Structure 1
Amino acid sequence: MKTIDLKSLQLEDLIDVFLELGEKKYRALQTFRWIHQKMVPSIDDITELPKILRDKLNENYLFSTLKVAKRLDSKYDETSKYLFILEDNNIIESVMMKHKHGITVCLSTQVGCRMGCEFCASTKNGLVRNLLPGEILEQFYLIQKDQGKNISNIVLMGSGEPLDNYENTIKFLRIIHSKEGQNLGHRHITISTCGIVPKIYDLAEEEMPINLSISLHSPFDEERKKIMPIANRYSIDKIIEACNYYIEKTNRRITFEYTLIRDVNDKLSDALEIVRLLNGMLCHVNLIPLNIIKEFEHEKSNNKAINNFKEILVKGGISTTIRKEMGADVNAACGQLRRDYINRETIN
């Protein structure tokens, strides 16, 4: 049974595969470049390899691929939402956003999610499985080929919790950063986590100065527990300690994502507690208007409340921005398009 995915292998591991096949080391380098620079869709397309070798690879190894099930383009901004079908017919989604500074893609790391955040569509059907490194990479490759332009930034903020799929996420990061592949700089990559504390410490030790984003959403433990089950395992103080360690090891600024929910976490007391909590920390707060889903009964804060919240944080010395809403007409928030697709298929 074929169990090893060639697209998911780092160069050193791919070299081991070729040596075990009795092939020369340079064949592994050729293959790696064709997979990760030329982004070929199959082993048969690696024409630099002899056909007999390609046949041997096809016979013994997997080669992860995705298919575009749907692409939706926003009428209001340069945002595109991609719905991908995996080889096992599971569904994931990615988002492409064009900014003045370049193209950013938001990639999924899992099929579904088990974190259970109340306001997030990604988690409503639970976790199905982790994505392989090759399946995370393929989202990037297919979007880059479809757009015909180089992607400059990655955020692992799509469906799933990246640190809950830690090993595959790290392999993805090392492959996308490889000079023999896309050679994407660590500082152009952001990981978003709801706060799996032990993995934040592990990430700090990886010597990859990537950007870390923490889904905070409340500065009070008891209130955070109501909307984020992960808060029952890791307190805010423990998350802050881990973040400070990450800053010390990487010298990278932490971003705290904060979804504003009307009459839940947008009060004066919330803003003042954030100021107290983050005082003196190398960090930034990104305020996010709530993306409304039918399973979550609350509404997003109004613009006045959002602006007032920002003003309090800025006056308190906390660098703060309000995230621009992009792709609202194409269900660009995490999990929305996938959930709608699954629901329609179930009904049909």
Structure 2
Amino acid sequence: MQEAMSDRSPAAIKRRDVHTVSHSELVSLLEELGQPKFRAKQIEEWVWEKNVSNFDDMSNLPKALRATLSEHLTLGGVEEVARQLSNDGSRKYLLRFPDGVCVECVGMPSRNKLAVCASTQAGCAMGCAFCATGASGLTRSLTSGEIYEQVMHVRDDFNARVTSVVLMGQGEPFMNYDATLGALRKLNSPEGAGIGARHLTVSTCGVIPMIKRFANEPEQFTLAISLHSAVQKTRDMLMPGVKKYSLLRLYDMMGEYVDKTGRRPTYEYALIKGVNDTDAELAALCDFCKDNLAHVNIIQLNHVKGSKFLPSSDVRAQEFVRRLGNVGVEATIRNSRGSDIDAACGQLRQNVEAGLV
């Protein structure tokens, strides 16, 4: 809803989620209710910074106003359907929104820091062959508020400040661009989660038009590319959703991105035994990344039950790091978190639906 609230009566927006209401719309609503403008700022603080789930908790608002707000607006909110605890301290959540749609997110604590991996869509339409989420298809895209609420749920469960967020969970963020950017801006805002822009990362399969758009945004958000192969035939098989965006076009676009932003992108590479971990695949990866500003994140594949794909050995992962280093490309092996729980995106949802959790 983009129309100004001044053109509508309060009844016309009955029970609208306050996370979808802009500041100007909220001010207009309060004016129609005979309330001063400063109440909007108070309400937004309760919603975005304190993450309250009940209007009655807004203690600096008059009781009558709290009751009136609850008649016209909702506070959205998520219900925790399932939670898994890893021995390494990670927590994986299956959260349900009021319309029944479920998504997964993860909290990963370390050394007085808390990282969150959040989803931008319920399901995914990209169809990556090794991904549990892709097997279920796309249910719907999330709103910016729903993306934000995942982070706040993790924050409140850990009772700790979130220091970084990666939008690397379910879904392709750049197929839900506006909501993704809106969530990033609210996560970055001092009137939101207050997380530094460089600690907010978007992971994309390589949707080239949106990478170009992202490069022109004013914020210093970080970009990660799910590469997984630098051989066109292999990548097409693994990632059919981005077949139309060739590796050559991606290579050129990433050169543009670096020139425009001066920021170093990360290339994610999940090693799959006998598929993208061969000597030919390694040579192609070195050619793709050398002489460019890039960091390669080698990922030990999370095995998904029923999948034909298996993870490569630790020795092979180390060889990838060594060979990339020899051509001047910094590479690291991502520390695997939650390996003793349903670590891969989509697994927890599948197991809950199957009655296994």
Superposition TM-score tier, normalisation by shorter sequence: over 0.9
After alignment, is 55-64 or 216-225 more displaced? Answer: 55-64
Partner of 2:311: 300
Distance 1:127 1:187 in 2: 29
Root-mean-square deviation (Å): 2.0
Partner of 2:46: 34
Is 1:48 paired with 2:60?
A: yes
After alignment, is 226-235 or 8-17 more displaced? Answer: 8-17
Is 1:120 paired with 2:131?
A: yes
Structure 1 position 19, deviation (Å): 4.5
1:247-271 deviation per Cα after TM superposition (whole angstroms, max 9, x unaligned): 2333221000001111111111211
- Mark the CA change 1:54 to 1:245 in structure 2 (over 3 Å): closer, same or farther: farther
- Mark the CA change 1:19 to 1:163 in structure 2 (over 3 Å): closer, same or farther: farther
After alignment, is 131-140 or 147-156 more displaced? Answer: 131-140
Structure 2: where are the runs of 5+ without partners? Answer: 1-12
Which amino acid counterpart does residue 260 of structure 2 have in structure 1? Answer: K
Please give the TM-score of this superposition, normalised by the length of structure 1: 0.93
Maintained 8 Å contact 1:221/1:231: no
Pairing partner for 1:318 from 329, 332, 335: 329
- Mark the CA change 1:250 to 1:44 in structure 2 (over 3 Å): closer, same or farther: farther
- Mark the CA change 1:328 to 1:255 in structure 2 (over 3 Å): closer, same or farther: same
Maintained 8 Å contact 2:302/2:343: no
Which amino acid counterpart does residue 83 of structure 2 have in structure 1? Answer: R
Q: 1:225-264 residue pairs with structure 2 within 5 A?
A: 225-264=236-275
1:104-146 deviation per Cα after TM superposition (whole angstroms, max 9, x unaligned): 0101111111110010111111111111222111111121111
Partner of 2:106: 95
Distance 1:183 1:24 in 2: 26
Identity, in percent, stands at 38
Structure 1 position 282, deviation (Å): 1.4
- Mark the CA change 1:150 to 1:239 in structure 2 (over 3 Å): closer, same or farther: same
Maintained 8 Å contact 1:109/1:169: yes
Structure 1 position 18, deviation (Å): 3.6
Number of residues paired by the alignment? 345
Q: 1:258-297 residue pairs with structure 2 within 5 A?
A: 258-297=269-308
Partner of 1:73: 85
Is 1:334 paired with 2:345?
A: yes
Q: 1:151-190 residue pairs with structure 2 within 5 A?
A: 151-190=162-201
- Mark the CA change 1:124 to 1:20 in structure 2 (over 3 Å): closer, same or farther: farther
User: Which has the higher relative contact order, 1 or 2, with Cα contacts under 8 A spaced 6 or more apart?
Assistant: 1
Structure 1 position 185, deviation (Å): 1.1
Which amino acid counterpart does residue 239 of structure 2 have in structure 1? Answer: M
Structure 1 position 4, deviation (Å): 3.8
Partner of 1:131: 142
Structure 1: where are the runs of 5+ without partners? Answer: none
1:1-35 deviation per Cα after TM superposition (whole angstroms, max 9, x unaligned): 64742123454554454445554321111111111
Maintained 8 Å contact 2:17/2:74: yes
Please give the TM-score of this superposition, normalised by the length of structure 2: 0.91
Maintained 8 Å contact 2:304/2:344: no
- Mark the CA change 1:247 to 1:43 in structure 2 (over 3 Å): closer, same or farther: farther
Distance 1:73 1:16 in 2: 44
Maintained 8 Å contact 2:300/2:334: yes
After alignment, is 112-121 or 97-106 more displaced? Answer: 97-106
Maintained 8 Å contact 1:8/1:172: no
Maintained 8 Å contact 1:217/1:259: yes
Distance 2:77 2:43 in 1: 16
Pairing partner for 2:120 from 97, 105, 109: 109
Maintained 8 Å contact 1:195/1:230: no
Partner of 1:212: 223
Distance 2:194 2:66 in 1: 26
Distance 1:204 1:101 in 2: 31
Partner of 1:201: 212
- Mark the CA change 1:272 to 1:41 in structure 2 (over 3 Å): closer, same or farther: same
1:76-125 deviation per Cα after TM superposition (whole angstroms, max 9, x unaligned): x1211112122122221111112236110101111111110010111111
Distance 2:295 2:352 in 1: 35
